[in-house]
Structure 1
Amino acid sequence: MTDTAADVTAGFGPAGAAGGRRSFMTLVRVETRKLFDTRTSKILTAVLVALGLGSVAARGLVAGPHFFTLAGTSAIAFGTLLPVLAILTMTGEWSHRTALTTFALEPRRGRVLAAKCLPPLVAAVAACLLALLAAAPVTAAVSAAQGVPAVWQVAPHTVLGWIATMVILTAEGLAMGALLLNAPAAIVIYFVMPMLWSAVGQLGHVGAALAGWLDLNSTTSALTSGEVSGGDLARLAVSALVWIAIPMAAGVLRVSRKDI
């Protein structure tokens, strides 16, 4: 048994024999451990935290003591790396060849996939909370250094919309990984799609309309605005259906029927 396979079985404990019944939380704990156990995931997590906190501190030197402006700067790193972490979560079983071990220990593949989704989504929320926590002392320090009053006011719906955007982008990475089961392909498509939609948006009214309804990066921008209209929610729902719900459903079906 390889070290990776040993990591997979270790979390199941005495009930690790094939066919044993395990709670969903046991599966979540195992998938959380697997998420941060690989060298790639450890490096990616360290880079994500470093860039997120670094961007908050660096923005303070330019933007001044504006609390949410500083915290929101971390979205550049989070929106890039959190989906990649999610993709690696979904494709890791196949790239590390541990799918046979995992699904032998838990034959109900749908439960395994559901357990895989929770750790990256929780990590997205935790990353946003960490950025908000880091922005508070940075805002106070910049205010004291520059001798200007700090701007702490931020609408709760703006913060919640920002966190929801990070969760949605992470969910997109999960769906892409589940559908393709190939990390390089999923990562390339995830990063190329915004550029393609930007080009489509320049193709007259039809292209702009398509991008307005199907570009998830565009439709999520309404979440942090002062007012979210019914039209904004409709466009977000359609883009989430196309890029999250349908790919995830297809991915679950593919994994459920895939020979190992």
Structure 2
Amino acid sequence: MSGTPVTRSTANAAATSAVTATGSENTGSENTGIHRPRTPIPFRRLLSVETRKLFDTRGGKIITAGLVVLVLAAVIGRGVVSGPRLQSMIGTSGIGLGTLLPILAILTMTGEWSHRTALTTFALVPRRGRALAAKCLPPLIMAVAASLLAMLVAVPVTAVVAGVQDVPATWEVAPLALLGWTGTNVLMVAAALALGTLLLNAPAAIVIYLLAPILWSAVGRLGTTGRALAGWLDLNTTTAPLTAGDMTGGDTARLAVSVLLWIAVPMAAGVARVIRKDVS
């Protein structure tokens, strides 16, 4: 009689184990069905997020507001001093665009590292190349938009200055010059993006970007060799014919060399660094 309870206990224990195992299998299959692999974040969403980051931060808002004010002040000031000439007014607005747009681009590329949000970003977007591409496009698009804004602002200012000074306005513009001027703004922003990606340090990148024209100007005064070096390696010098709209074959070659030096090589090295860099 003592063997029967043991047998029943053993049978009950075996049944309980079987039910538990079955439940575990069902739960595992249900969990497998629930936790499906996540689909990658669409690139358009990444682009939207990075575009919003341009204006969400306090620095971005200040730079954007300063950019608008500086463009208006430059266009109006040039109109008052030089008269109602549309082409010259548009070109003068490039002073603000060529200074503040690259700084905004540098802050865009270095912000993840200075604010220590790179870990979150790359956890959500493991393919770092996609994240970098989404960061680069908004500043480049903004360079084109800001150039168009400057052109639109210059038109009514030219008309107002002509009316106030009671002189005829000069509306003639060279389409190639306007296109080259816009392209120059885009190249300057691209150079700033490359520098920010390479250094991942906003103060260092901004200082180097702002000091480079001064240093190249000094190099250009060192005689024939200095002028030759600046003529091939200084991006500000090689883009001058592009801005004027009269590029030649030699100008194109010099521009290609400076673009390779200031944009292609630093960007490639910076992308390689970001992809391999440990994030903590």
1:54-83 deviation digits (Å, cap 9, x = unpaired) = 111121111111012112111011101110
SS of residue in 1 equivalent to 2:126: coil
Q: TM-score, normalised by structure 2?
A: 0.85
CA distance in 2, matches of 1:203, 1:81: 29
CA contact (8 A) 2:233 2:261 kept: yes
Pair 1:157-2:181 in alignment: no
**2:48 maps to amino acid:** R
- Quick check: 249-258 or 121-130, which moved more? 121-130
Pair 1:87-2:106 in alignment: yes
1:229 to 248, 251, 261: 248
Q: How does 1:96-175 map to 2 (within 5 A)?
A: 96-175=115-194
Give, in angstroms, the shift of residue 20 of structure 1.
3.7
Aligned partner of 1:38 in structure 2 is 57
Q: How many residues align?
A: 244
Pair 1:181-2:212 in alignment: no
Q: How does 1:44-63 map to 2 (within 5 A)?
A: 44-63=63-82
- Quick check: 238-247 or 71-80, which moved more? 71-80
**2:118 maps to amino acid:** A
Aligned partner of 1:208 in structure 2 is 227
Give, in angstroms, the shift of residue 26 of structure 1.
1.1
CA distance in 2, matches of 1:18, 1:202: 61
Runs of 4+ in 1 over 6 A off after TM superposition: none
Mark the runs of 5 or more structure 2 residues left unpaired by the alignment: 1-35
CA distance in 1, matches of 2:238, 2:81: 28
CA distance in 1, matches of 2:245, 2:118: 45
SS of residue in 2 equivalent to 1:79: helix
Mark the runs of 5 or more structure 1 residues left unpaired by the alignment: 1-16
1:130-175 deviation digits (Å, cap 9, x = unpaired) = 1111111110111111121111111110100000010000111000
CA distance in 2, matches of 1:164, 1:60: 24
CA contact (8 A) 1:19 1:106 kept: no
* Residues 91 and 167 of structure 1, relative CA distance in 2, 3 Å threshold: same
> Whose radius of gyration is greater, 1 or 2?
2
Give, in angstroms, the shift of residue 224 of structure 1.
2.2
Pair 1:68-2:79 in alignment: no
1:105-147 deviation digits (Å, cap 9, x = unpaired) = 0000011111111110111111111111111111011111112
**2:60 maps to amino acid:** S
Aligned partner of 1:6 in structure 2 is none
Give, in angstroms, the shift of residue 226 of structure 1.
4.4
- Quick check: 36-45 or 178-187, which moved more? 36-45
CA contact (8 A) 1:53 1:134 kept: yes
Q: TM-score, normalised by structure 1?
A: 0.91
CA distance in 1, matches of 2:183, 2:37: 38
Q: What root-mean-square deviation, in Å, do the aligned CA atoms of Structure 1 and Structure 2 show?
A: 1.3
CA distance in 2, matches of 1:96, 1:107: 19
- Quick check: 231-240 or 146-155, which moved more? 146-155
CA contact (8 A) 1:19 1:104 kept: no
CA distance in 1, matches of 2:90, 2:168: 17
CA contact (8 A) 1:82 1:124 kept: yes
CA contact (8 A) 1:59 1:70 kept: yes
CA distance in 2, matches of 1:129, 1:226: 17
CA contact (8 A) 1:68 1:152 kept: yes
SS of residue in 2 equivalent to 1:56: helix
Pair 1:199-2:218 in alignment: yes
Pair 1:26-2:40 in alignment: no
Identical-residue share of aligned pairs (%): 66
CA distance in 2, matches of 1:225, 1:35: 30
**1:244 maps to amino acid:** I
1:162-194 deviation digits (Å, cap 9, x = unpaired) = 000100001110000000000000000001111
